[in-house]
């Protein structure tokens, strides 16, 4: 989810798509105090809060280093630059992702090799990676889409064998675990976004890169601030891609709450999964609703998004909207069919699973402060949809 949208209070909506910090008066007060303190000191770039957040986020992700950057997209760009991926190189990217995953590859002059996904989990798999290796491929970016951790060990094994890097796009999966280890800590580099609606969201744009490799951490630190060290001494050609101190200060406060919020998301997500899973088989014909599957049996999921699929997606969204329940689509176009990536020449039919999913998917509301009553309203509305007679549709 990106763009200049405002997520406002809307009293006509029974269940909003998400709820931001303004709905928690205590948190809002605390964060306003934090912002004021930063403003009063006039310390807006790097410094205490950025360094503090970096060491706290590294500890949280169980990595040796975290580097605060200006967005998730920039995290991916700097990761690829640090790995010296550029013109002539290919990077495997699932076409079923937010466009930023591919944009980062294009930004460094490399070519995204867009690939399809598993029809049930909607995620990339080791088989898909193996089938798409070419001599030009230097890296794969598994995306833990929706907050579900991809099955990484087989991907890491194939990448190791092929001598290519694994950069995790963990922009939707802060805090998720893979067989005990944190999302972002398994590939050579992990990338995070702190876009306001993410599980860990800033009050604006922000991102982070995590790694255990000191040389990569050092290079990314230089790249994000003009290759500068010390002041006005420029070692490499970098850019302006720092995490703002204001954002770092906000994120430090929120990081302390992240595990609790994720626990809430997990609880709500599995309850909704059970409620909807129980009704899917009863639905007549193409009104059946399927909840997106987990990539493997014991996979962790931090429910950044709760995604279902149905043949009658637009009717489902209309039905929910009539009952005051918000919904969204992540994403209406797979990357290869966007106008931006038409030049790759992957027309309709080339990556059929993602193309089909893009017409069937619907994201239901799910956020940590959702009440059981709100969850019940969603489950009841979806149940009513599956039981409506399709002949009644107008
Ligand atoms: C999967 C994924 N990758 C990358 C990004 C890019 O992050 P940002 O919007 O912070 O640049 C996002 C979020 O917007 C995302 O969801």
Structure token pair of residue 323: 């009952």
Cβ of residue 199 lying under 6 Å from some atom of ligand 1: no
How close is the Cα of 278 to the center of ligand 1, in Å? 33
Residue 210, strand partner residues:
66, 190
Q: Sort strands 90-94 and 111-115 into parallel, antiparallel or unpaired.
A: parallel
How close is the Cα of 74 to the center of ligand 1, in Å? 9
DSSP state, residue 298 = T
Cβ of residue 193 lying under 6 Å from some atom of ligand 1: yes
- Nearest atom within ligand 1 for CA of residue 76: 4
DSSP state, residue 45 = B
Mean pLDDT of 191-208: 98
Is pLDDT above 70 for 391?
no
How close is the Cα of 195 to the center of ligand 1, in Å? 7
Cβ of residue 73 lying under 6 Å from some atom of ligand 1: yes
Cβ of residue 101 lying under 6 Å from some atom of ligand 1: yes
d(CA 39, CA 318): 45
User: From edge to edge, which strands make up the β-sheet containing 306-309?
Assistant: 290-291, 306-309, 361-364
For residue range 126-175, what is the model confidence (pLDDT) as tens digits?
999 999 999 999 999 999 999 999 999 999 999 999 999 999 999 999 99
d(CA 323, CA 318): 9
Cβ of residue 97 lying under 6 Å from some atom of ligand 1: yes
For residue range 216-233, what is the model confidence (pLDDT) as tens digits?
999 999 999 999 999 999
Q: Using 50, 70 and 90 to split pLDDT, how confident is the model at 58?
A: very high
For residue range 9-54, what is the model confidence (pLDDT) as tens digits?
555 689 999 999 999 999 999 999 999 999 999 999 999 999 999 9
Cβ of residue 108 lying under 6 Å from some atom of ligand 1: no
Is pLDDT above 50 for 3?
no
Burial (Cβ within 10 Å: 0-12, 13-18, ≥19) of residue 247: buried
**For the chain, where are the alpha helices, taking DSSP H only?**
25-41, 47-61, 72-82, 100-107, 126-131, 152-162, 214-223, 245-280, 313-322, 352-360, 372-387
d(CA 155, CA 354): 20
d(CA 136, CA 92): 10
For residue range 268-301, what is the model confidence (pLDDT) as tens digits?
999 999 999 866 555 666 788 999 999 999 999 9
Tracing tokens 């796009």 back to the chain, one arrives at: 169
Contact 258, 199 (CB under 8 A): yes
- Nearest atom within ligand 1 for CA of residue 304: 16
- Residue 120 has a pLDDT of 96
| pTM as predicted | 0.96
Residue 316, strand partner residues:
none
């Amino acid at each position: 989810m990106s763009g200049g949208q405002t997520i406002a209070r809307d009293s006509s909506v029974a269940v909003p798509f998400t709820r931001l910090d303004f709905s928690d008066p205590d948190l809002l007060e605390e964060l306003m105090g934090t912002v004021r303190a930063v403003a009063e000191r006039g310390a807006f770039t790097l410094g205490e809060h950025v360094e503090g957040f970096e060491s706290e986020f590294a500890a949280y992700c169980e990595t040796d280093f975290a580097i605060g950057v200006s967005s998730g997209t920039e995290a991916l760009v700097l990761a690829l630059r640090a790995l010296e991926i550029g013109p002539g190189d290919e990077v495997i990217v699932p076409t079923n992702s937010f466009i930023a995953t591919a944009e980062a590859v294009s930004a460094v002059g490399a070519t995204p090799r867009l690939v399809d996904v598993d029809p049930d989990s909607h995620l990339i798999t080791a088989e898909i990676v193996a089938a798409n290796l070419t001599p030009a491929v230097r890296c794969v970016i598994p995306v833990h889409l929706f907050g579900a951790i991809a099955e990484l060990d087989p991907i890491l094994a194939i990448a190791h064998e092929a001598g290519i890097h694994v950069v995790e796009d963990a922009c939707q999966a802060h805090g998720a675990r893979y067989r005990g280890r944190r999302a972002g800590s398994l590939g050579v580099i992990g990338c995070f976004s702190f876009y306001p609606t993410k599980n860990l969201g800033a009050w604006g744009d922000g991102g982070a890169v995590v790694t255990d490799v000191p040389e990569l951490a050092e290079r990314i630190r230089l790249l994000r601030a003009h290759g500068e060290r010390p002041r006005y001494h420029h070692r490499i050609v970098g850019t302006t891609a720092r995490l703002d101190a204001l954002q770092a200060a906000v994120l430090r406060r929120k990081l302390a709450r992240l595990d609790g919020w994720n626990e809430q998301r997990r609880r709500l997500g599995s309850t909704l999964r059970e409620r909807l899973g129980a009704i899917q088989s009863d639905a007549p014909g193409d009104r059946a609703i399927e909840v997106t599957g987990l990539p493997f049996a014991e996979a962790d999921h931090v429910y950044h998004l709760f995604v279902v699929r149905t043949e009658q997606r637009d009717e489902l969204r209309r039905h929910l909207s009539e009952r005051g329940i918000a919904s969204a689509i992540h994403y209406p176009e797979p990357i290869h069919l966007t106008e931006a990536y038409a030049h790759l020449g992957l027309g309709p039919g080339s990556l059929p699973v993602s193309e089909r999913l893009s017409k069937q998917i619907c994201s239901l509301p799910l956020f940590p402060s959702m009440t059981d009553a709100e969850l019940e309203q969603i489950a009841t509305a979806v149940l009513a949809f599956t039981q409506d007679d399709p002949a009644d549709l107008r």
